[in-house]
Structure 1
């Protein structure tokens, strides 16, 4: 049976053009999220309400905590590293491609970064998904994606979930700790329900997916069955993650880009308190 809820709250009221990539930083007990087109990395402490903003020199597709402090960022021209205070930037891998930008990324159980790219014009097959080891070694996992998006792992680390948005599919791979193989479909998003964007995996192994142009976040079981829908007032939720001290609150980023009359909350970060139980996310080991 599918359950539906409207029990969202506003965590951060903002007007991000393309809010994305929410990540719970367990060490700092704060949410990290980005505005891709605004070239900004935001943080939010839900206890104190403190917020920070860091401007990057390029469009930023993702920002994740590093094990030694600081951030790893998926930028237009490659993957870079910031020190603990947001200083000492250096490239981990610099690979500019005209017309291409960074998009979503995730840290695997082994501490590697799986980072996606896409064309600004969203040309079919113009994007990639690559694995970045802590020492900067790069392996291209997929070289023919269009809009590389949500990536996540099952609680036991044996499965990897992945979204190439225009396919309207959530795919699943077998995962051996470093390599993803045997790609297959977990679930389809039907016509009229929006497009799958960012995802997160909860402690039950269920996959939560934000639906761009669908105004909702959905939860799918490990067998691919839809069992919960969180309906939202904004048309373009982009990604979600669990956070808070008990990893029970579902944070959802949203976008206002491309909308003639965006909802007043478009571009804000929403939260569904007590939505479930998330998994602690590893930090990038580099």
Structure 2
């Protein structure tokens, strides 16, 4: 998430909401060992494991999609979206889905193999739903039958002005479904900053981050509990962002799990704004972004299992990296990207 001054800020419509006090967290100590790889093209929002299970995929601020060798940090640009890519998802048909904040949901085909100097072909898959542009398209996951579930973080605020959605304390996001025949349905609207999304390992439910309610929501889409919604993670200690796909980490103490990164720690002033008259939030929105509450320089990432129970937390500091937005685990190493740093941080987790 980044700031922008090219367009005027949209007007704010603050809602009053009382939030519970954030839980205490331990002080962040330096990671005992980690590696930092530079990224070309600017900071990244998301990182995923490539379909080959050996490489990483990262999108960067200038619109590029990078394939990275996690052993060396060597990279190749395999596509360019022409917009601002956010969430990534390799899918079963061999293509790559990209949520682009400017263009909507994109599909990248003809992906080059490692060593191939070509770039993939980018096409728009969805650019609107119910007549509303799919701007600030955030994340996507795929069901076993090819159905896609997509989050749109806000219909009122663009990606550069994401802080407006945070300050409003009012849901303006949507959850969309694209059926295999191409039909697009708005499943839920007025959602509180929907962000990362992943299909549960048993295929029965979706896990979806709501960044501004500090929670992870589980929506049951198959089986006897279809239609039910619960919240396995509530009153979290940070602003959760992207959510990795569930993977089976055989040989670990937790088995199947997904990771979500905290783009920043909870902010008492931001929580307080939800309880105050809206004119105060409106006044804060009028300030330059640099004067708004700034995130602390820590790294915090949380793993939950298929039941939604928290099974691992990684918290620490590393020079030149903080405020992670995305996480992917591969071969016992957690790879993190940040909205604030053009770098990839590798932290061992075994």
Q: TM-score, normalised by structure 2?
A: 0.63
- Give CA-to-partner distance per residue, 1:92-120, whole Å, 9 cap, x none: 22328569322122233333332222332
User: Which residue of structure 1 lines up, in the alignment, with residue 301 of structure 2?
Assistant: 217
Tell me: higher relative CO, structure 1 or 2? Use CA pairs within 8 A at least 6 residues apart. Answer: 1
- Structure with greater proportional helix content: 2
User: Which residue of structure 2 lines up, in the alignment, with residue 93 of structure 1?
Assistant: 126
Do residues 271 (structure 1) and 346 (structure 2) align? Answer: yes
In structure 1, which of residues 93, 112, 115 is the aligned counterpart of residue 147 of structure 2?
112
Residue 100 of structure 1 aligns to a residue in which SS? Answer: coil
Alpha-carbon distance, 1:156 to partner: 1.5
Q: Structure 1 residues 241 and 113, CA, compared in 2 at 3 Å: closer, same or farther? A: farther
Distance in 2 (alpha carbons) for counterparts of 1:208 and 1:91: 28
User: Which residue of structure 2 lines up, in the alignment, with residue 26 of structure 1?
Assistant: 51
Q: Structure 1 residues 91 and 199, CA, compared in 2 at 3 Å: closer, same or farther? A: closer
Larger displacement relative to structure 2 (225-234 or 93-102): 93-102
Alpha-carbon distance, 1:167 to partner: 0.7
Distance in 1 (alpha carbons) for counterparts of 2:108 and 2:307: 39
- Structure with greater proportional strand content: 1
Distance in 1 (alpha carbons) for counterparts of 2:123 and 2:209: 29
User: Which residue of structure 2 lines up, in the alignment, with residue 51 of structure 1?
Assistant: 75
In structure 2, which of residues 218, 242, 257 is the aligned counterpart of residue 198 of structure 1?
242
Q: Is the 8 A contact 2:201 2:306 kept in 1?
A: no
Q: Structure 1 residues 10 and 139, CA, compared in 2 at 3 Å: closer, same or farther? A: farther
Q: Is the 8 A contact 1:216 1:229 kept in 2?
A: yes
Distance in 2 (alpha carbons) for counterparts of 1:88 and 1:15: 21
Alpha-carbon distance, 1:64 to partner: 2.4
Q: Structure 1 residues 43 and 103, CA, compared in 2 at 3 Å: closer, same or farther? A: same
Do residues 153 (structure 1) and 199 (structure 2) align? Answer: yes
Gap runs ≥5 in structure 1: 257-265, 277-286
Distance in 1 (alpha carbons) for counterparts of 2:303 and 2:109: 35
Q: Is the 8 A contact 2:151 2:196 kept in 1?
A: no
Give the RMSD, CA atoms, in angstroms: 3.2
Distance in 1 (alpha carbons) for counterparts of 2:174 and 2:187: 8
- Give CA-to-partner distance per residue, 1:149-191, whole Å, 9 cap, x none: 11123322223211110011111122318x962111112244x
Q: Is the 8 A contact 2:134 2:152 kept in 1?
A: no
Larger radius of gyration: 2
Do residues 77 (structure 1) and 112 (structure 2) align? Answer: no
User: Which residue of structure 2 lines up, in the alignment, with residue 279 of structure 1?
Assistant: none
Alpha-carbon distance, 1:31 to partner: 0.8
Alpha-carbon distance, 1:199 to partner: 2.0
- Give CA-to-partner distance per residue, 1:31-60, whole Å, 9 cap, x none: 11212x432212102246431223321121
Q: Is the 8 A contact 1:59 1:101 kept in 2?
A: no
Count of matched residue positions in the alignment of Structure 1 and Structure 2: 258
Gap runs ≥5 in structure 2: 1-24, 112-118, 249-254, 266-298
User: Which residue of structure 2 lines up, in the alignment, with residue 255 of structure 1?
Assistant: 339
In structure 1, which of residues 221, 235, 242 is the aligned counterpart of residue 322 of structure 2?
235
In structure 2, which of residues 125, 137, 149 is the aligned counterpart of residue 102 of structure 1?
137
Q: Is the 8 A contact 1:189 1:196 kept in 2?
A: no
Do residues 14 (structure 1) and 3 (structure 2) align? Answer: no
Distance in 2 (alpha carbons) for counterparts of 1:58 and 1:180: 36
Larger displacement relative to structure 2 (159-168 or 94-103): 94-103
Alpha-carbon distance, 1:13 to partner: 2.0
Q: Is the 8 A contact 1:166 1:195 kept in 2?
A: yes
Residue 212 of structure 2 aligns to a residue in which SS? Answer: helix
Do residues 163 (structure 1) and 209 (structure 2) align? Answer: yes
Residue 227 of structure 2 aligns to a residue in which SS? Answer: strand
